Amino acid sequence: KKVYLNGKILDHKDAKISVFDRGFIFGDGIYEVMTQVNGDFFYADAHLERLSDCLQKVNIDFDVNSLLNDIKRLRKVSDLEFKDCLVYIQVTRGIAPRKHAYPKEVTPTVMMYIMPFELPEINQKHIKAVTTLDYRWGRCDIKMTSLLGNVMVNEYAMKHGAYEAILIREGIITEASHCNVFFTKNNIVYTHPSNNFILDGITRQIVIQLCHDLGIEIRQEAVKEQDIFLMDEVFLTGTTTQIVSVQQINEYSFYKGNNTGPITKKLQEAFLALKK
Ligand code: PDD
């Protein structure tokens, strides 16, 4: 397996990073995940723009403009030009003695890999989720590599036989451990507004646009935990998840049998059509 590290493409066994890298010591870095579908990177511009925005938010000085070419180089040497793939990109602040404040003269560490990825059969999966407290920090808009909060709540979901943990902060639903959350009620779609309490997912942005295109009313308003049971449909969105229908939250089932709600289905189909 090949890895891109600071301008070089190496065998993964030779790709080494200092133990003093701030990504390792502090989780001081930003990452991105995108897919390649039918030979094209899916919404690459949006992913790279978010990467650039997040880097700016934490003052990591790195220009993302050359990355797409480097990914293409990596794709070529990995012989993955014609396969559906997942691209992982991470930029950490770099190597410096361990002091909390941003070091002055530091070069970011850039690492990327690309691997084959089977896109989930989004129209068939029908998952279970559990709710848990959103005890992550207050800057969830930053796609940072320190994901321990997300890892812990996801582990909670796994322990409860669920695909995702739906997160509750002060009585409202924010997002999930690695997805955004949408609800529908009386043909209106609801999702948490994009602010510091969620990651503004690229898939989320696409789904909002699809709602506009399809004439489905969409409101960026958070749903209260206590109102979950009043909702008609629930679905999750994310790069690795796409759009997945939620059958059950905790003990409450939204559907009888294996149906997917009509709005979820419509959006899944429209989303799938974007990838053709
Ligand atoms: N997860 N919210 C969180 C906390 C996420 O980590 C992600 C993505 C999303 C959805 O964003 P997008 O639609 O841009 O993928 C929402 C990535 C894929 C991951 O960590 O693997």
pLDDT given at position 275: 86
Whose CA is closest to atom 6 on ligand 1? Answer: 178
Cβ of 203 below 6 Å from ligand 1: yes
pLDDT given at position 9: 98
Q: Tell me, what amino acid is at 105?
A: E
Spatial separation of the C-alpha atoms in residues 60 and 2, rounded to whole Å: 25
**183: closest CA among 148, 147, 240, 222?**
222
Cβ of 174 below 6 Å from ligand 1: no
Whose CA is closest to atom 5 on ligand 1? Answer: 178
Active site residue 128: no
DSSP-derived secondary structure for 138-172: S-TTS-BS--HHHHHHHHHHHHTT-SEEEEEETTE
Cα of 153 from ligand 1 centre, angstroms? 14
User: In Å, how far are 142, 155, 196, 270 from 163, measured between CA atoms?
Assistant: 23, 10, 24, 23
Cβ of 242 below 6 Å from ligand 1: no
ipTM metric: 0.98
List the pLDDT tens digit at each of the 276 positions of the chain.
Answer: 999 999 999 999 999 999 999 999 999 999 999 999 989 999 999 999 999 999 999 999 999 999 999 999 999 999 999 899 999 999 999 999 999 999 999 999 999 999 999 877 666 778 999 999 999 999 999 999 999 999 999 999 999 999 999 999 999 999 999 999 999 999 999 999 999 999 999 999 999 999 999 999 999 999 999 999 999 999 999 999 999 999 999 999 998 777 899 999 999 999 999 987
Whether domain 2-116 has CATH 3.30.470.10: the reply is yes
pLDDT given at position 87: 97
What residues does CATH 3.30.470.10 cover in the chain? 2-116
pTM: 0.97
User: What are residue 199's phi and psi, to 5 degrees?
Assistant: -85, 130
What CATH class does 126-274 carry? alpha beta
pLDDT given at position 118: 85
What residues does CATH 3.20.10.10 cover in the chain? 126-274
pLDDT given at position 123: 63
pLDDT given at position 125: 75
Cβ of 218 below 6 Å from ligand 1: no
